[in-house]
């Protein structure tokens, strides 16, 4: 059993190099197995929708250095991520797709990839490409609507606070309105602008490509072939 724990020797490497025909055979076999797995058990389709997010930094952050800008973008981005995954946002998708629950959509079907300022990419996966397209379109539209409503409420809230500061209105008259607007503003800034860039003919691809299956199959079989060569040599030795 000592050979199991012994480090590889020069003979081991030479044995691997001499078995170049074995490598070619197993790499081709692995590639074929990977391609066969792709067609026998094809991966789900994944549809993509894009929402353009503009934080309007020139208006919302007129002072400060690069460090302040970084923390501001990071904070506001986290807020929008929470909006994207909020129950109310996901429920708008679940209501149109009766057989899917919010937890399943959030944990298995939906995926979000976004920069801090610019295009936010929304993805949805399903065995049916049309269903994946509908799913991601609903999610992106729900997010876009939630953010726009939150920004509008934040703008109205700022107007009321400005009126209170200037003494134009009384607190007792608008106290309930302020509480309502604070609850519906989602904590986001009023300077944020979003737009749903594409609603139809969304890009649809497989979650994994044929090349990835072929590569994984070839690498896996080559690894197994190396183990067979090394262990067979050890046992025979």
pLDDT at 4: 47
SS3 call for 9: coil
Highest mean pLDDT among 7-16, 98-107, 166-175, 224-233: 98-107
Digit-coded pLDDT (tens) for 135-151: 999 999 999 999 999 88
170-189 b/e (C-beta count within 10 Å ≥ 16 → b): eeeebeeeeeebeeebbebb
Give helix 20-40 / helix 210-236 axis angle, nearest 10°: 140
Does the structure show a pLDDT above 70 at 58? yes
Question: What average pLDDT is seen over the chain?
Answer: 82
Cβ burial 69-90 (10 Å sphere, 16+ → b, else e): eeebbeebbebbeebbbeeebb
């Amino acid at each position: 059993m000592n050979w199991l724990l012994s480090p590889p020797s020069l003979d081991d490497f030479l044995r691997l190099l001499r078995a170049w025909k074995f490598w070619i055979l197993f790499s081709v076999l692995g590639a074929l197995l990977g391609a066969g797995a792709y067609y026998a058990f094809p991966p789900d389709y994944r549809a993509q929708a894009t929402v353009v997010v503009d934080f309007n930094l020139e208006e919302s952050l007129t002072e400060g250095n690069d460090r302040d800008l970084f923390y501001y973008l990071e904070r506001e981005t986290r807020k929008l991520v929470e909006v994207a995954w909020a129950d109310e946002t996901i429920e708008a998708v679940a209501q149109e797709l009766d057989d899917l629950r919010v937890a399943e959509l959030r944990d298995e079907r939906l995926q979000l990839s976004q920069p801090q300022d610019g295009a936010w990419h929304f993805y949805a996966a399903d065995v049916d490409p049309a269903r994946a397209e509908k799913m991601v379109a609903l999610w992106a539209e729900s997010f876009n609507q939630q953010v726009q409503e939150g920004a509008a409420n934040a703008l109205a809230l700022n107007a009321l606070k400005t009126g209170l500061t200037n003494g134009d209105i009384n607190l007792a008259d608008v106290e309930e309105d302020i509480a309502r607007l604070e609850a519906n503003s989602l904590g986001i800034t009023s300077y944020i602008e979003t737009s749903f860039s594409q609603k139809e003919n969304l890009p649809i691809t497989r979650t994994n490509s044929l090349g990835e299956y072929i590569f994984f199959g070839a690498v896996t079989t080559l690894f197994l072939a190396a183990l067979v060569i090394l262990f067979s040599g050890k046992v025979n030795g």
